Amino acid sequence: MALSPVLGKLLHKRVVLASASPRRQEILSNAGLRFEVVPSRFKETLSKSSFPSPYAYAMETAKQKALEVATRLHQKDLQAPDLVIGADTIVAVEGLILEKPVDKQDAYRMLSRLSGKQHSVFTGVCVVLCDSRDGQLETEVSEFYEETRVKFSELSEEMLWEYIHSGEPMDKAGGYGIQALGGMLVEAVHGDFLNVVGFPLNRFCKQLAQLYRPPSHQDLGSQAKQDSIHCVDSFEGLSDPEPKHGDGDVDLEPRSGPRDARPAFPASLLRLVHGFKAAQALFTACKLKVFDLLQDGAARTASDVAGKVKASVCGTRRLLDVCVGLGLLQKTERGYRNTEVAGMYLGSHGEYSLHSYILHTGGHAWDLFMHPASTAKEGRSHQHPAEGTKPGDPSQVQLERAQQHLLRAAHGLAQLTAHEVATAMDLSSFSSACHLGGCTGALAHELAREYPRLKVTVFDLPHIIQQAPLFRPHGPETAQVSFMPGDVLWDPFPEAELYILAPALPDWTGSAAQQLLRRVAAACRPGCGLLVADAFPMGEEEEEEEEELDEAEEEAEAGSAPAGLVRVLDQLVWPKAGGCSVGACCRWLEQLGFCDLQVAPSGDTQTATLTVLLGTRAGP
């Protein structure tokens, strides 16, 4: 067998496949690999939005699967397997990751999105070499990904539902299996076909050839220093070397030692180093309103866009091509157009636009993040250049513009979470509510839509209330929402049956936070409610803040990029970001006299879980 020089050397090793996929098992078995199947118990709950690309998400998932199995088997047997293989296959179209559908309707949405389009199939593969020394598990991780581009035909409703009713889509990434009935949907395949089935065998064998590379005759005889690793394009040159007289068989082991050690190419590290380029490209494209120009769905050339944004054609083309690579634009023979993601979130006037938030991040938060040392020393974020101005100062106009940009940024984020917060709990028993610090009223209007008998008052600073009408939606529910200016720390609250803090307090132990909570508790009559919603830190709810920070530091030293560390870095720029754990929040509310606490997770953010809490003020 042509592959036996590579796979044959694994015959006497314990190889484990950390996957229950029958397709992966069949591919590896047909190649002649002998292995055990130990499905991983790793819960695939990684936040997709926290990864710079779909393949990075697939690679990390594959790595976590393999490491979980390696650790579990070592703990069980006190002896690790020689090699564990983890894999994860996803489908990505226009920047969105499609995994296995949860039901037929989900499968329909996936396949409708793929109809008539080209998409990418990514498989992340992780090979973990294991060793057990002195009872401790030692691992060496090698990972890669393979991409195959697949073009679907235009699919009729009849064909879509006929395929869905066959049951085949339900356990397959992207909702189809190319090796079976799903093959009738595919018009063209560019790349490794087996990668679409579930495992890139060719690339896997090349990876093994690099990990288990046979020494040359020159190495065996003279031990001459090796200058390089030859490029492996086939396996014809990987046959077993003929042993010299008296040498016996040569066992093929992973490369080690200073003479021929070759570190793996640090692709993930370089992606991290150059990640700022992607962010700056997004900032620039939003600042030039590129996505607004393409919002009508028509394709435009780089020359067309350059003329509109008053930039050079060459520079504009480079920017547009980068946006194509980021999955924000599509490039066709006729020109560039928005992807679905860009059309939904990046236009400046869309209902769920993040345009202002991106501009604020690129123009203000980015500058603050560039000075983490000074913010850490001062314990607070830098002031905006326009802050501290007086009426009549030349910079007053700049301040007002900055405030409006900040409001638009806050409004865009609130729009994304308002429905989840409004529907997390049953609030139909309340007839009046007051959103303290309700900003533009995004959540208030969503509550009014969900509960037609609920009257909502937005209570916030005068300059915010003054600009809130700019963000008022159209619809009958606006009559249920009113705005009242005031300072939540000093001015009397409007009377209400339900008070709302969303986002919640960042520092529950600070004096200002304690003052506000005591004021809310005093305003609540027995039976009134307090709704708290925020992105609470991930992890055990009962952990104290110091323990969470210690864990983040330990993980950072281990070379990972945990969500907790990202949150710590954010706090250098926005020291009030993050907040306490859900458990600590509940304890505070109980101490203030709130009982019957209900907790409802509503969704994931990059570093935390959006959670809604509802408590009822106890009687005297």
Q: Active-site positions?
A: 88
- Dist CA 426 CA 443 (whole Å): 15
Asked if 175 and 110 touch (Cβ cutoff 8 Å), the reply is yes
DSSP 481: E
500 φ, ψ (degrees, to nearest 5): -125, 130
- Dist CA 93 CA 340 (whole Å): 9
- Measure Cα distances from 193 to 24, 115, 183 in Å: 13, 19, 11
- Dist CA 193 CA 197 (whole Å): 7
The DSSP code sequence of 294-363 is: TTTS--B-HHHHHHHHT--HHHHHHHHHHHHHTTSEEEETTEEEE-HHHHHHTSTTSTT--HHHHHHIII
527 φ, ψ (degrees, to nearest 5): 95, -15
The DSSP code sequence of 582-596 is: HHHHHHHHHHTTEEE
- Dist CA 13 CA 35 (whole Å): 9
Asked if 532 and 501 touch (Cβ cutoff 8 Å), the reply is yes
| Terminal Cα-to-Cα distance of the chain (whole angstroms) | 82
Nearest alpha-carbon partner for 200 in 293, 329, 62? 62
Cis-peptide, bond into residue 620, ω within 30° of zero: no
Asked if 572 and 372 touch (Cβ cutoff 8 Å), the reply is yes
User: Any residues with CB less than 8 A from the CB of 510 and at least 6 apart, and which?
Assistant: none
- Dist CA 530 CA 520 (whole Å): 8
The DSSP code sequence of 365-396 is: IHHHHT-HHHHHHHTSPPPPTTTT--TT-TTH
- Dist CA 411 CA 407 (whole Å): 6
Strands 329-332 and 335-338: antiparallel
- Dmax (CA) for the chain in angstroms is 96
Residue type, 36: E
- Dist CA 438 CA 273 (whole Å): 38
